Structure 1
């Protein structure tokens, strides 16, 4: 185990030193670490936002630790806490500093892969704790890999990663609207007051109604704040949210990834 741990860290440092940093140097035509420092620290808003994100990260870690201490398998409603945290992270980032959020999402993706390898290979010092967290929060889609959080992260970040400039805020919020808000509210309402089920589905009519209303509410708030000033885009958001809420009611597979992609396509048409 010692040799595995040592080789893991040696390989990680080698990849960063030989591949990642030189590639970033070529792309930026300057030292990437210095560039990142000045990019992050050149505005007070960015520093405040990073501090806020750090608090959200700490809250997420505390939720995982609390669930491990309880030693109880997390329910679907409990897992939706991370959807709520994603909403709290992404909405301020997309409104105020979407370029910083783009950079942060790439770094977090790399960190996610690093921690997932550490968990899978049981690399000290965090491998065992990460495995305990995985065991507490894994659902039927997760086997050897934490696919559910990966799908959620990719679904939320997909509009940011697309090579398209000047996207409107509602398009960038495709994942937040469908998964972060709609799916979360649907799960919460459906698990408590979902007495009427759709045919051939374990989703409830009450959950679908809550999904629609929550998304419409967010769209109206965005319009009131001036982020949706185009009548056609406003109507697109409303119709897409309603249609995708019915799709959400009929699917149990990778909705964290599928729903944001479908919403993005609908708003880009």
Structure 2
């Protein structure tokens, strides 16, 4: 029988593959690459939540399991896909990503799916993750970078204009869902208050928005009895 490589050899091969992949990464707009997936989340998840929340719940769980499997392949550089997966995921990292595990895609998926997994009877709450990340966070980033003039503080790139874009886009999207009959009636002023508070969190916190923002807004909506 052929001899299997020991742990040291496997680690060395994995390191070589990942280093080679890093050198091939193209220089593209990081923000554009990341926000593309936020927009994709809206297109993919809103119809699922509207038409079949139970199946969407299951689909999110399967996707999370698949992400875990792919991260295992990437981390150990398992041939022939390890280097390719690493190369793809490494294009979306920013200063908040640290450590050996790449978790940004887990955070985005968890942020979008958390409000579905929590299974609140109010249908508007099921859209919380998709609206805060796919619409609000993306709008805040794009508007803030292109049109933002007034920063919240000298130590941050977050702008007042970006926060206003977050609040307007999330609340407007919720009203659009109601107008299209994709959600039940809800208390608009309380919803707006939760959006405003969440917008301030997005502006003033340096945590990973993909994970903290939707869970925080969901908590506010529940607390306010939307």
TM-score range, shorter chain: 0.7 to 0.9
Task: Report what 1:266 is aligned to.
Answer: 220
- C-alpha distance in structure 2 between counterparts of 1:129 and 1:217, whole Å: 39
> Relative to structure 1, is the Cα distance of residues 100 and 213 closer, same or farther in structure 2, using a 3 angstrom cutoff?
same
For residues 14-33 of structure 1, the aligned pairs below 5 Å read none
Q: Are 2:211 and 1:257 aligned?
A: yes
Please report how far the alpha carbon of residue 169 of structure 1 lies from its aligned counterpart in structure 2 after TM superposition. Answer: 2.1
Please report how far the alpha carbon of residue 104 of structure 1 lies from its aligned counterpart in structure 2 after TM superposition. Answer: 0.9
Following TM superposition, the consecutive aligned residue runs of length 4 or more in structure 1 with deviations greater than 6 angstroms are none
Task: Report what 2:78 is aligned to.
Answer: 123
Task: Report what 2:146 is aligned to.
Answer: 192
For residues 222-261 of structure 1, the aligned pairs below 5 Å read 222-232=177-187, 234-261=188-215
Q: Are 2:42 and 1:95 aligned?
A: no
Cα displacement string for residues 14-49 of structure 1 (whole angstroms, at most 9, x for unaligned residues): xxxxxxxxxxxxxxxxxxxxxxxxxxxxxxxxxxxx
Contact 1:151 1:257 in 2 (8 A): yes
- C-alpha distance in structure 1 between counterparts of 2:157 and 2:173, whole Å: 26
Q: Which protein has the bigger helix share?
A: 1
Return the TM-score normalized by structure 2.
0.82
Return the TM-score normalized by structure 1.
0.70
Count of equivalent residues = 202
Contact 1:195 1:206 in 2 (8 A): yes
Give structure 1 stretches of 5+ with no counterpart.
Answer: 5-67
RMSD: 2.1
Please report how far the alpha carbon of residue 227 of structure 1 lies from its aligned counterpart in structure 2 after TM superposition. Answer: 4.2
- C-alpha distance in structure 1 between counterparts of 2:69 and 2:25, whole Å: 26
> Relative to structure 1, is the Cα distance of residues 96 and 161 closer, same or farther in structure 2, using a 3 angstrom cutoff?
same
- C-alpha distance in structure 1 between counterparts of 2:122 and 2:24, whole Å: 43
